[in-house]
Structure 1
Amino acid sequence: MNTPFLDTWINRTMGIPHSSTAGLEAFKSRQLAALNRTITHAREHSRFYKQSLSGIKDVPLRALKDMAALPFTRPADIQENPKGFLALSQGEISRIVTLNTSGTTAAPKRIFFTDEDLGRVVDFFTAVLTTIMNPGETGLIFLPGDTRASAGDLIRTAMQAAQARPKVPGIIRDFGPAADLVRSTRPSLLIGMPVQILALCEYMKLTGTLSDIAHVILTADYVPAPLVDRVEDLLGATVLNHYGMTEIGFGGAIQCPAREGLHLRHPDLFFEIIDPAGPPLPAGQWGEVVITTLNRKGMPLIRYRTGDVSRILDAPCACGSPFPRLDRIRNRQRLNADTANRQNLTMADLDDLLFSLPGVVDFTACIQNKIDSEQGIPTLDIEIMGLEPLTQRIQIDPGPSPGLTMALETGRLRMGRITVRAFDFRNTYVTKRQIQFNSHGLT
């Protein structure tokens, strides 16, 4: 790349003249000013933050490290009272997204956006796409796009702003038409969920319709490294990992082609890494990702605990950017919330293990907690969906998966049935991928 990834956009948006040492100091100053504006706006206009920040005296903050004095915002806070977070009248809200929590009876989260909030999301994705697409190239967006300001619709608008040609077929419901669309449009970029994109690649390989594609962006789920390797081998593409969530405004961070961490959406988000017990951690140490929105008018979030685990990288990227970045998301704590920390096993632990097996396209995992099971130890059952020639009996070595190894060695879990069935390309495979928990005979 001729210029550091996203730096031109960051400097322009934040009013930073350059990316030298002086530029980094200006960057910190701009983030501190944005944090103070956010805190003031939230405390004056949001019922939730009027209460939660009422005891905070040291505002405005004097340094970024002073954020540690502010209380956390948890997902349950939004579930219990989403309207309490509104910092504008509801008439000024242009988009409401309802997030249902899979596998629980908890109330859904409702996330509110103004047109200005959504415009900042588009601006971020435009900056990303401008760096990896040439004007006139085609991008296929295999994400929901029918609803205004859905993820696919926002990226479509950004791709148009980048002078490229977006097509938004949506979630892949049938891999045949999706492969035909790839062949007929010859895109330079595919965007979609990891398992769907892998399945599309395997389908195109089986049907002899593989195409060379410059870039793939994987999003909306954990991105296992073995899955990335397989997609790259099949397409000859550079695969980039995007990290985001609806609560923070869809876009959060994305790899550049150098792939030395994820470049952060600095003008709109402030990232911290904390010890789960609460204290912030220095760069280089793994912990929970905590995010504060900046310049968000409709529904600001302050120190939102994501449940995701990563670390801050502060050494310059190979692309030349000096700004802090996020390492890959190592696992997602929120996926094992229902276990009450009994197994400490996440879907990401299994993803990294199983997608390294040739022919595996998807799988389901279920922890059976039966009162009459051997010594009362919960059992992990796995059903693998794969391509031929997968045998009907398959052995799994948990060694490469520290989370699974620890659960087995400490006696908190034991392996149950491992079954294999053919992957059905007519199925949708769009349900949330997470470990299921079944309790039988428990009181």
Structure 2
Amino acid sequence: MFTQYDPESAALTRELRDQFEAFMAGKWDADTLAAHQTRKLREVVAYVRANSPFYREKLADISDDEMDALRNDDLRRLPFTTKDDLRQAQLDILSSPVSDAWIFYETTGTTGAATPCPRTNGDTIHNNTVLTAYYRDVLAAHGDRQVIGVSGPTELHATGDTFGDVCRNLGHAVAKMWPHSPVIGFDRALEVMRLLPITGLFCTPGMAMRLAQKATEAGLDPRKDFSLDILMLTGELMSPSLLANIGAVWGAEARNALYASQEASVLAAATSDGSLRTAPLINLYEVIDPDTLEPVAPDSAGVRYGELVVTNLYSGAKPLIRYRTGDMVRMTDPAPGAAVPAPGLEAVGRVRDRLLLNGHLVNGYDLEDLLLRRFRGYQDYQITISRDDLGRDLISLTLKADPDSQRENIRKAVEECLDALDTPLDVGFGTPGPITSTGAMVSWKAARVVDLRTESSIENTSAERIAATRA
């Protein structure tokens, strides 16, 4: 409604809506997209150099002539922006004063200084247009008048505002509820889910499992006593195995809904063909080797595997140039018939969360997918890594589940782990505790992995502190 009072925002909304409709309908060829990206790249680089104290210094060696001639394949001439840059620069990273924003967000600051993430109307419209366009068919498969729960913090965080706005765009009602809030709590959240009833839920994988645990403890059956049709999960690592389990626990479709960050905003979103796809109208993407910093070439299957680097293609409060996300991804060009003609993306874990197991370097996504592949119906899990007297790495998997329902799958899981990683696996049953709920606040590794081979890190300490407040 605010756009009725802001003609500039109303015009931008219409322009982006029309662009995305044409792009998704296949009316943009490669040359059209490249021309759009090149024009936007030049605009944004000029914008940040003129308006951001940080980028004014960072890009001082780029001449006006070089800037006017920038093309997509010239990105390597520009310096990277890192998380440490954001922490150190603070408000100097901004390209407009906070007073020009419509809202102020910031990162959690659990493992370092919180960084400012204000959003202008333009920032929000660009990013929410992606989600509105991509989610339309995903949610429409379950009806055009749903009641969608958004289970995420709203204080200084974009989750509730973003998904609430997108659902409103698509005609769905929204109930924002944060079960960790002392005002709401899990009992009230579950009551609201049954009362309305909630048919769709945006939350983290950890929250989806924690809600199932609390429902079971209350004598309820998540599959029978609730009306969920779809879970739109985000904020944490989620492998296909974990998604399938959460869907089985709730008797609903479970989707990886979004890959994004407070710093860089929307980078990829769920589409109706089941893939998470990038948003090339508003971002440029690179995949680099995190050690050499060189571009990664596609493998024989056309997959580029490495660290994701992103450049925002819209001028707002804080456009980022060649931002190293710190996340390992697999990026694949779209096949004919893709719901959106944009590369598919799998976020497979942070660079620093990779684990070396008996000579095999494995990311969190693949490890989780491997260990959980055979199990369904569990409501939580945790991985413990140790080393025996011979120097061999060992894995223990703890599942919160009925042991009798899982035992027949243990042998296959043990065999598959040994085959893939040369690492013995032991499967046990128990309750990992509240630390597993901290993934979105800290990291997958801190929340899900107890690595007895290494000393505790700042991320472990942060996760333990948050967990203590949730016990």
Structure 1 length-normalised TM:
0.78
Match of 2:165 in 1: 157
| Residue 67 in structure 1 maps to residue 75 in structure 2 | yes
Mapped to 1, the partners of 2:169 and 2:322 lie a distance apart of 31
In structure 2, which of residues 195, 200, 203 is the aligned counterpart of residue 192 of structure 1?
Answer: 203
Amino acid at match of 1:291: V
1:264-287: CA deviations, max 9, x gaps? 233322222223322323552222
For 2:317, what is the secondary structure of its paired residue? coil
Mapped to 1, the partners of 2:236 and 2:124 lie a distance apart of 21
Amino acid at match of 2:282: D
| Residue 304 in structure 1 maps to residue 323 in structure 2 | yes
| Residue 221 in structure 1 maps to residue 221 in structure 2 | no
Amino acid at match of 2:241: P
Match of 2:89 in 1: 81
| Residue 421 in structure 1 maps to residue 430 in structure 2 | yes
Match of 2:308 in 1: 289
Which structure shows the higher helix fraction? 2
For 2:117, what is the secondary structure of its paired residue? strand
Deviates more, 1:212-221 or 1:177-186: 177-186
1:178-223: CA deviations, max 9, x gaps? 4433322233321111122134346657723524533221100011
For 2:87, what is the secondary structure of its paired residue? helix
Mapped to 2, the partners of 1:143 and 1:72 lie a distance apart of 31
Residue pair 2:241, 2:369 contacting (<8 A) in 1 also: yes
Match of 1:239 in 2: 254
Amino acid at match of 2:87: Q
Match of 1:430 in 2: 437
1:397-432: CA deviations, max 9, x gaps? 566469x955xx5xxxx77987532467xx585312
Q: Aligned pair in 2 of structure 1 residues 175, 52: CA closer, same or farther (>3 Å)?
A: same
Residue pair 1:31, 1:270 contacting (<8 A) in 2 also: yes
| Residue 353 in structure 1 maps to residue 370 in structure 2 | yes
Q: Aligned pair in 2 of structure 1 residues 202, 96: CA closer, same or farther (>3 Å)?
A: closer
Kindly state the Cα deviation for residue 165 of structure 1 after the two structures are TM-superposed.
Answer: 0.5
What number of residue pairs does the alignment pair up? Answer: 412
Amino acid at match of 1:267: L
In structure 1, which of residues 306, 320, 333 is the aligned counterpart of residue 351 of structure 2?
Answer: 333
Amino acid at match of 2:237: Y
Q: Aligned pair in 2 of structure 1 residues 380, 37: CA closer, same or farther (>3 Å)?
A: farther
Amino acid at match of 1:262: L
Amino acid at match of 1:194: P
1:365-395: CA deviations, max 9, x gaps? 45569xxx736x5966756241222699978
Match of 1:31 in 2: 37
Q: Aligned pair in 2 of structure 1 residues 319, 364: CA closer, same or farther (>3 Å)?
A: same
Residue pair 2:153, 2:178 contacting (<8 A) in 1 also: yes
Q: Aligned pair in 2 of structure 1 residues 281, 21: CA closer, same or farther (>3 Å)?
A: farther
In structure 1, which of residues 389, 409, 415 is the aligned counterpart of residue 403 of structure 2?
Answer: 389
Amino acid at match of 2:209: L
Match of 2:136 in 1: 130
Match of 1:139 in 2: 148
Q: Aligned pair in 2 of structure 1 residues 398, 417: CA closer, same or farther (>3 Å)?
A: closer
Gaps of 5+ in 2: 1-13, 457-471
| Residue 169 in structure 1 maps to residue 184 in structure 2 | no
Match of 1:41 in 2: 47
| Residue 248 in structure 1 maps to residue 257 in structure 2 | no
Mapped to 2, the partners of 1:89 and 1:195 lie a distance apart of 36
For 2:107, what is the secondary structure of its paired residue? strand
Mapped to 1, the partners of 2:426 and 2:26 lie a distance apart of 57
Q: Aligned pair in 2 of structure 1 residues 247, 436: CA closer, same or farther (>3 Å)?
A: farther
Match of 1:3 in 2: none
Amino acid at match of 1:67: L
1:235-287: CA deviations, max 9, x gaps? 443322121111112x321222321x312233322222223322323552222
In structure 2, which of residues 191, 194, 202 is the aligned counterpart of residue 183 of structure 1?
Answer: 194
User: Percent identity between the aligned chains?
Assistant: 19
RMSD over equivalenced CA pairs, Å: 3.8
Q: Aligned pair in 2 of structure 1 residues 266, 423: CA closer, same or farther (>3 Å)?
A: same
Mapped to 1, the partners of 2:178 and 2:43 lie a distance apart of 37
1:73-101: CA deviations, max 9, x gaps? 11121122223312123433441403324
Gaps of 5+ in 1: 1-7
Amino acid at match of 1:150: A
In structure 1, which of residues 259, 263, 269 is the aligned counterpart of residue 283 of structure 2?
Answer: 269
Match of 1:374 in 2: 389
Q: Aligned pair in 2 of structure 1 residues 52, 345: CA closer, same or farther (>3 Å)?
A: same
For 1:112, what is the secondary structure of its paired residue? coil
